[in-house]
């Protein structure tokens, strides 16, 4: 059965966007998938739909290295609008960077649930969604 | 240390030998051994016995063995000398003067050593008893006693040299024999080396420049003064000069020779100082070289760390894409699906191999050790570059102006310089403001002896607040531009740094960018 979530992918790598979308689709992990190529596109969407909770994503998979606005800059902007966002959004940082500086920086941002190093395994993806479903169900 | 010890030991042996020779002289009645010159005072039998005992004592001290025996021997000598003095003071006869042999040569108190000799023995024996004490103050006192003996013996020898009896008689009744004075001189000097750092011995035995000077100056001064004094004495004796005139002449010649010695010493000191200055400069230079080297190494380390970071990041992402694609390929059900996935494999593989090529190129630049440099005209490089990109220039209506008046040429690697020009110019054209023909200005300057090239454009600019830290990174792009790959500036920076320079940028979004290269 398809899970009742909107999953958002923010990444500039076309192949990655393709593979993760396919993986989500195969496992029926989302009712809708939003795709953005950099932080600016994503934050603009969030701002536009800030009070429109049925359009906002439940999970964001956020890349670090992107043109125009990178993952950390997206987080800076997101923290500013967060009080107005009418939905609980779980954010994962997904990147191929194994640089301890990046890991540290991500861990310091409380809005980020976890730091995942690419490639993201299909089982990992379904586990994340299952966990979220349990949390929502208990609530 | 070994050298000093050998001086002490040989001094002791000489003293023992003198003592034995004089005893031999008394037993076999050989006058030469008793007084050296006829009519001179004789060394008494007891004196020679005292020298033999003190010689053995000092030999043991030099060896640092059987110190108790050495103290005992010194004590025997002290007692003998002390009794001799007391005989003189209280005017009685203990019978020790001629205990061993009969002295037929002397009129007064036959066989009795002179008061001066007895006092010297007392001082010396006291010194030998205390010379090995732990307490530094005691040892200093012993050293001073030895110096007093040296001085007295020296006065005695001078008396003989100048033939002035008042000196070696030293107002005492009987005079010190010449070889007695010599023996005291040798023994007191060699024994002073047991504690070489104390007293006057310290002045002459140290290794510092002051000690070196003291040694050479004192020896020269002593010899010259003695010669001068001897000449003066001779001139009185043969009545060549009056006493007053002789003193004036002595003083004058003493001043002149002192001046000569001071001149020589100062020259020597200056020479040593110069040598030190040369060594010091060498050290300063070496330190500076080291600092430069350290700076270079630090820079290279930072660059290497960056490179490792870049490599890991840029290779990881296509490989992780390959992994994900492989998973999808395995699970794909239709042939059509598999084919479309296969095309995606191709994309990733092309990307991966181009990344690898870039990294290999960068590595080649970093590892290139010969760095061929040649004199290059900036004008030539610019015209060559504009020729290569002439199609883009015509297409966009770009205007490129080069101002190389302040610095026409540079000694550089020509391949790198061409690549730097090409990258900066194509970037300026690629990221032009839409609807505004690109205007690019190149200018060379000399700032603080350093050659600086600025390349400014009127393009779209870069938001440096956001992107400054990754401007020159690999695969870092800042515009949604299909041709942006994030390779050009990375290579440019690599080349400039390899040649020991730096590149930086200033930019304002919508107005343009200025790249500054310090060669």
* Closest C-alpha among B92, B97, B87, B91 to residue B26: B97
- CATH no. for A6-138: 3.40.50.2300
Q: Do A16 and B321 touch (CB under 8 A)?
A: yes
The one-character DSSP state at B95 is S
Contacts of B475 in chain A (CB under 8 A): 65
Beta-sheet pairing, B439-447 with B450-457: antiparallel
Contacts of A14 in chain B (CB under 8 A): 347
- CATH no. for B368-518: 3.30.565.10
pLDDT of residue B173: 41
Beta-sheet pairing, A90-95 with A112-117: parallel
pLDDT of residue B456: 85
CA distances from B358 to B302, B314, B351, B490 (A): 19, 11, 11, 9
Q: Do B316 and A99 touch (CB under 8 A)?
A: no
- Going from N- to C-terminal start, the domains of chain A cover 6-138
Q: Which residues of B463-497 are buried (b: 16+ CB within 10 A; e: fewer)?
A: ebebbeeebbbbbbbbbeeeebbbbbbbbbbbbbb
pLDDT of residue B370: 61
Task: Tell me if chain A has a CB within 8 Å of the CB of B369.
Answer: no
Answer yes or no: pTM beyond 0.90. Answer: no
CA distances from A14 to A11, A126, B191, B327, B348 (A): 8, 22, 96, 17, 10
Mean pLDDT of chain A: 87
CA dist B464 and B472 (Å) reads 12
Contacts of A16 in chain B (CB under 8 A): 317, 320-321, 324
CA dist B331 and B317 (Å) reads 22
CA distances from A60 to A67, A73, A89, A120 (A): 18, 15, 7, 14
Of A15, A69, A96, the CB nearest to B344: A15
pLDDT of residue B485: 67
Q: Do A22 and B466 touch (CB under 8 A)?
A: no
Answer whether B46's CB lies under 8 Å from B84's CB.
yes
Contacts of B324 in chain A (CB under 8 A): 15-16, 19-20, 23, 119-120
Q: Which of B17-31, B48-62, B462-476 has the lowest mean pLDDT?
A: B462-476
Residue A139 pLDDT class (50, 70, 90 cuts)? low
Of A19, A38, A97, the CB nearest to B324: A19
CA dist A133 and A128 (Å) reads 9
Phi then psi dihedrals of residue B439, to 5 deg = -125, 115
Residue B106 pLDDT class (50, 70, 90 cuts)? low
Neighbours of B202 (CB within 10 A): 15
pLDDT of residue A36: 93
Residue B107 pLDDT class (50, 70, 90 cuts)? low
CA dist B236 and B249 (Å) reads 12
- Going from N- to C-terminal start, the domains of chain B cover 2-206, 368-518
Residue B174 pLDDT class (50, 70, 90 cuts)? very low
Distance from CA of B423 to the nearest CA of A (A): 19
Neighbours of A68 (CB within 10 A): 18
Answer whether B139's CB lies under 8 Å from B194's CB.
no
Residues 6+ apart with CB under 8 A from A75: A62, A91, A109, A111, A112
Contacts of A26 in chain B (CB under 8 A): 328, 331
Contacts of B344 in chain A (CB under 8 A): 15, 18
Q: Do B344 and A18 touch (CB under 8 A)?
A: yes
Given a cut of 90, whether residue A87 has pLDDT beyond it is: no
Q: Which of A16-20, A66-70, B85-89, B168-172 has the highest mean pLDDT?
A: A16-20
How many whole angstroms from its chain centre is CA B88? 61
Bridge partners, residue B453, by sequence: B444, B517
Of A13, A14, A67, the CB nearest to B484: A67
A67, A100, A105, A123: best to mutate for the B interface, most B CBs within 10 A: A67
Q: Looking at this predicted complex, what is its ipTM? A: 0.81
Two structure tokens written together for B34: 């008793």
């Amino acid at each position: 059965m398809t899970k009742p979530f909107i999953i958002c992918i923010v990444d500039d790598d076309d192949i990655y966007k393709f593979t993760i979308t396919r993986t989500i689709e195969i496992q029926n992990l989302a009712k809708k998938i939003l795709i953005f190529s950099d932080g600016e596109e994503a934050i603009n969407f969030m701002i536009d739909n800030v009070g429109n909770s049925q359009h906002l994503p439940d999970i964001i998979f956020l890349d670090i290295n992107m043109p125009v606005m990178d993952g950390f800059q997206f987080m800076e902007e997101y923290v500013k609008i967060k009080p107005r966002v009418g939905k609980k959004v779980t954010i994962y940082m997904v990147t191929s960077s194994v640089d301890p500086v990046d890991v540290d920086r991500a861990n310091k941002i409380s809005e980020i649930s976890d730091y995942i190093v690419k490639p993201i395994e299909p089982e990992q993806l379904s586990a994340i969604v299952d966990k979220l479903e349990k949390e929502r169900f208990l609530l | 240390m070994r050298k000093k010890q050998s001086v002490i030991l040989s001094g002791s042996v000489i003293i023992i030998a003198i003592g034995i020779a004089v005893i031999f002289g008394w037993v076999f009645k050989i006058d030469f051994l008793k007084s050296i010159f006829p009519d001179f005072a004789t060394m008494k039998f007891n004196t020679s016995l005292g020298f033999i005992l003190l010689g053995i004592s000092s030999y043991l001290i030099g060896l640092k063995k059987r110190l108790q025996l050495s103290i005992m021997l010194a004590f025997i000598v002290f007692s003998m000398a002390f009794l001799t003095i007391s005989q003189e003071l209280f005017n009685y006869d203990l019978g020790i003067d001629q205990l061993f042999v009969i002295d037929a040569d002397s009129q007064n108190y036959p066989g009795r050593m002179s008061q001066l000799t007895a006092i010297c023995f007392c001082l010396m024996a006291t010194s030998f008893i205390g010379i090995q004490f732990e307490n530094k103050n005691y040892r200093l006192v012993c050293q001073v006693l030895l110096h007093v003996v040296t001085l007295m013996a020296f006065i005695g020898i001078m008396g003989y040299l100048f033939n002035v009896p008042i000196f070696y008689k030293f107002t005492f009744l009987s005079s010190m024999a010449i070889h007695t004075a010599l023996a005291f001189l040798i023994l007191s000097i060699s024994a002073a080396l047991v504690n070489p750092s104390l007293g006057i011995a310290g002045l002459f035995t140290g290794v510092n420049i002051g000690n070196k000077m003291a040694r050479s100056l004192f020896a020269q001064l002593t010899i010259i003064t003695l010669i001068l004094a001897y000449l003066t004495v001779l001139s009185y004796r043969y009545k060549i000069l009056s006493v007053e005139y002789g003193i004036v002449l002595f003083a004058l010649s003493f001043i002149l020779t002192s001046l000569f010695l001071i001149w020589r010493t100062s020259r020597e000191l200056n020479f040593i100082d110069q040598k030190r200055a040369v060594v010091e400069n060498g050290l300063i230079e070496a330190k500076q070289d080291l600092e430069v080297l350290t700076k270079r190494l630090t820079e290279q380390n930072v660059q290497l760390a960056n490179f490792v970071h870049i490599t890991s990041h840029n290779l990881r992402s296509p490989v992780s894409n390959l992994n994900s694609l492989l998973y999808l390929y395995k699970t794909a059900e239709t042939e059509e699906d598999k084919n479309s996935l296969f095309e995606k494999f191709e994309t990733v593989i092309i990307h991966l191999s181009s990344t690898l090529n870039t990294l290999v190129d960068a590595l080649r630049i970093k590892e290139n050790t010969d760095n061929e440099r040649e004199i290059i005209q900036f004008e030539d490089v610019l015209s060559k570059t504009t020729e290569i990109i002439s199609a883009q220039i015509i297409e966009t209506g770009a205007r490129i102006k080069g101002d190389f008046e302040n610095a026409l040429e540079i000694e550089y690697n020509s391949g790198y310089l061409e690549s730097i020009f090409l990258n900066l110019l194509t970037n300026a054209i690629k990221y032009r403001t839409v609807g505004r023909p690109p205007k690019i200005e190149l200018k060379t300057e000399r700032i603080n002896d350093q050659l600086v090239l600025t390349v400014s454009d009127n393009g779209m600019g870069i938001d440096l607040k956001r992107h400054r830290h990754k401007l020159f990174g690999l695969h870092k792009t800042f515009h949604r531009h299909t041709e942006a790959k994030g390779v050009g500036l990375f290579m440019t920076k690599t080349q400039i740094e390899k040649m020991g320079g730096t590149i930086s940028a200033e930019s304002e979004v919508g107005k343009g960018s200025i790249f500054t290269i310090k060669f």
